Chains A and B, each alone.
Chain A
Amino acid sequence: MEEKKAKTQEIIETEIQMGTVHPAALEPYRVRFFVEDEIVKDAEVTIGVNHRGIERIMEGLPVEKANILTEKVCGICSNAHVWNSVRTAELGLGVEIPERALYIRVIMGELERLHSHFLYLAHGCEVLGHETFSMRIFYMRETIMDLLHMVGGNRVQYGCSIIGGVRPRCDLNEAKLAKLSESLDLVEKNLTEFADRFTRDTMVISRITGVGIIPQEQALKLAVSGPTLRATGVKRDLRTDMFEYDNFDFDIITQPDGDVKSNLLMRVLESFEAINILRQAIKNIPEGKVADRFWEMVDTDIIKSYIEVPRGTLYHSYAIEDGRVRGSIIRTPSMANIGAMQYASIGSHITDAQLCIVQCDPCFTCSDRVMEVYDYESHKQLDKSMLGSKILY
């Protein structure tokens, strides 16, 4: 009798590994492409080489210090992390935030969105091999970086939000508001010119149209987040649910196709919308104090906070016990988008494969959050109860 054999996997010609170090990637990660005649048949993105254990370091730290630490999660959306971490504490403690502080947070958030989107566009053009467009965008981005430096005092780590508002040094006087307004005019002019040239460049358009398509159903199934989701036509933006944006009138930008072109144009159009929000903030910013210092520290259960950051939905949660952080969890949008990156690569030419990953705006260093804690002596995995907290999480 003929022996029955289990069906083995279909023969795939070649496995090409890229990384963990690759010039097309801004950060270290490893990707395996399974290719047939240079067409990607399967892809596997693996992260984990950037893990710093920030949640573990936050464990037991005073809440204010822990908030500052979250800023180190990401160099691009550093403000978003400290904002959401502070917001988590504020939600738990029931702190009232002055209106002016909310406006300043929105201004910082939108400036950060602009610089993140510009970085994305520049990186996308770099991976496309179009150095001139890339340089042009970095040139525009410099204006935004100057504004962030003006408001936050630094180019990367601003330390703007504190529990109860924003730091007084981040307050905006008339001169700063005028500078903001003037610079935004320049950015808008440059961005309009760039968008015009970019969309009229037939060679660039032929490289990015129909490449790395993520269908809307697949994006929803993969729980894709942020602009990458909106580039598939889904009108979902968490800013519509955030109380900080209650006084602002803005559109949710979407694109129809979910390919590289849609993703790139998505960021361009969202940048215009960010400028629109910033203009409203500059015009309507109320007078008053920027921080409420009179709040009381109490113990809380697990508090959860979601905000919309440049790459998607950012989640922070922790409990407060004796003024210290317990059970901190941070979930960045790139973690949700990894599935989309793999999916987008499949079916594309291998030269486009990195572009398909880049179109989802990856930030793997931020996403390296999962950890297993082992006891040094016994080599046993520690469970949560061994972390010395009475909070159940």
Chain B
Amino acid sequence: MSYLTIVNSVLEVIILLLIALFVGVLIPGIERKYVHARIQQRIGPPVTSSGLWASIKFLYKENIKPNSPVPGLYKAMPILCFIVVFLVFIALLPLSYGFLAFASLIAIVGFLKVEEIAYVLMGSLSKSVMSAGLRFPDHVKGAERVNTLTSYIEDISSNRSLRMIAFGSFPLYLALFIPAAMCGSIFLGDIVSYQQVHGPFLFSLAGVLGTIVFFIGLMIMLNEYPFNIVKAKADVIEGPYMEFASKYRTFVYVTRGFMIFTLSCLYSVLFLGVAPGLLSLGFIVCIIVALIFVLFMGVFSAFSPVFTNRQFYPVVLVSSVIGVVGVILGLLI
């Protein structure tokens, strides 16, 4: 590989990353302003306030030491999540398709699992003042209660994240393997090439099922309403993110937007056969897919309450069954 090619590749990655980050930070604002607010018949916040300006604002806020048993590790988690999403994004770019082990579905699943584990760690490492940390002069019953463990609300969030790893993210991973079953390869380069010859998987029955399951899995992975039990306002509030302030909260915001965009790119690669490349229509397709996902996510979240286990388990079960059917159909093609 020539020196010029390496420089060009690095420049391409940097430019694509900057565009992806910019689109990513606009996504929450688009969802709130043009979906939620329109449905709820209100004006809504400026598009740039929720993601872009909030991220910039937090950069200039005074940092506080998080109330955590291991503050260093806790603060490292958003950065780790960002790196993981960045690696997924790089793996989706056409220039990575030569690195087979890296640009494969196994690697992407592995990266996303790291991101999920980070939620477990963040939840267990956050000890905010919103629950057991708040001193309360208890004159009523004396506060003593024997044989009881006192726990922080983030611990619930951590337990739920663990359950999400066990079964919650199952639909997304099933959806990822439907294209692999259809083209008989787990490598992204092969999946894209196959679709360029035979047409996008989206226009097949397995592809449609895969799209439905991917979308549900995407919402679960992003902890979006109504699947936001990891950070449900009714009990665990912000959950794992509770103690993040200043630049670490910026990382949280930026990573979230970046992740929505990256998962949209992943969908484009797997179901449309369109890879995000600089100076190509592929990147514009990815942006359009991200906006369509945001539109649907916004509509779903605006019209549904938070799911508890009673609603969450059946949804995961049904979507997983659809995913399995999709994989079987993909294998039969």
Q: Residues on A close to B: CB < 8 A? A: 8-24, 30, 32, 34, 38, 44, 46, 48, 125, 127-132, 135-136, 139, 201, 203-204, 206-207, 349-355
B62 within 8 Å of A by Cβ? no
**B131 contact set on A, CB distance < 8 A:** 16-18
Question: 26 A-B residue contacts at CB 8 Å?
Answer: A12-B145, A15-B151, A16-B131, A16-B132, A16-B151, A20-B134, A21-B134, A24-B233, A30-B136, A38-B309, A46-B136, A48-B140, A129-B232, A131-B36, A132-B302, A136-B41, A204-B304, A206-B310, A207-B306, A349-B310, A350-B235, A351-B234, A351-B306, A352-B234, A353-B235, A355-B234
Q: Is the CB of B225 within 8 A of A129?
A: yes
With beta carbons under 8 angstroms apart, the residue of A9, A22, A130, A349 that contacts B146 is A9
With beta carbons under 8 angstroms apart, the residue of A30, A44, A131, A351 that contacts B235 is A351
What 1/0 flags go to B29-52 for Cβ under 8 Å of A?
000000010011110000000000
Which residue on B lies nearest to A136, using beta carbons? B40
Shortest distance between the CB of B120 and any CB in chain A (Å): 16
**A12 contact set on B, CB distance < 8 A:** 145, 147-148
B269 within 8 Å of A by Cβ? no
Which residue on A lies nearest to B135, using beta carbons? A20
Given A9-B147, A14-B148, residue A203 in contact with residue B136 (CB < 8 A): no
What 1/0 flags go to B230-267 for Cβ under 8 Å of A?
00111101000000000000000000000000000000
Shortest distance between the CB of B176 and any CB in chain A (Å): 27
Q: How far is the CA of A207 from the CA of B315 in the complex (A)?
A: 14
With beta carbons under 8 angstroms apart, the residue of A9, A34, A207 that contacts B311 is A207
Shortest distance between the CB of B306 and any CB in chain A (Å): 3
Consensus secondary structure, chain A interface: mixed
Which residue on A lies nearest to B42, using beta carbons? A135
Consensus secondary structure, chain B interface: loop
Given A9-B147, A203-B311, residue A132 in contact with residue B40 (CB < 8 A): yes
Q: Is the CB of A354 within 8 A of B235?
A: yes
Q: Is the CB of B226 within 8 A of A129?
A: yes
Q: Which 4 A-B pairs have the closest CB atoms?
A: A129-B306, A135-B40, A128-B305, A130-B305
Given A48-B139, A136-B40, residue A127 in contact with residue B145 (CB < 8 A): no
Q: How far is the CA of A131 from the CA of B306 in the complex (A)?
A: 10
Q: Is the CB of B140 within 8 A of A127?
A: no
B130 within 8 Å of A by Cβ? yes
Shortest distance between the CB of A5 and any CB in chain B (Å): 13
B149 within 8 Å of A by Cβ? yes
B229 within 8 Å of A by Cβ? yes
Q: Is the CB of B235 within 8 A of A203?
A: no
Q: Is the CB of A131 within 8 A of B302?
A: yes
Q: Is the CB of B153 within 8 A of A18?
A: yes
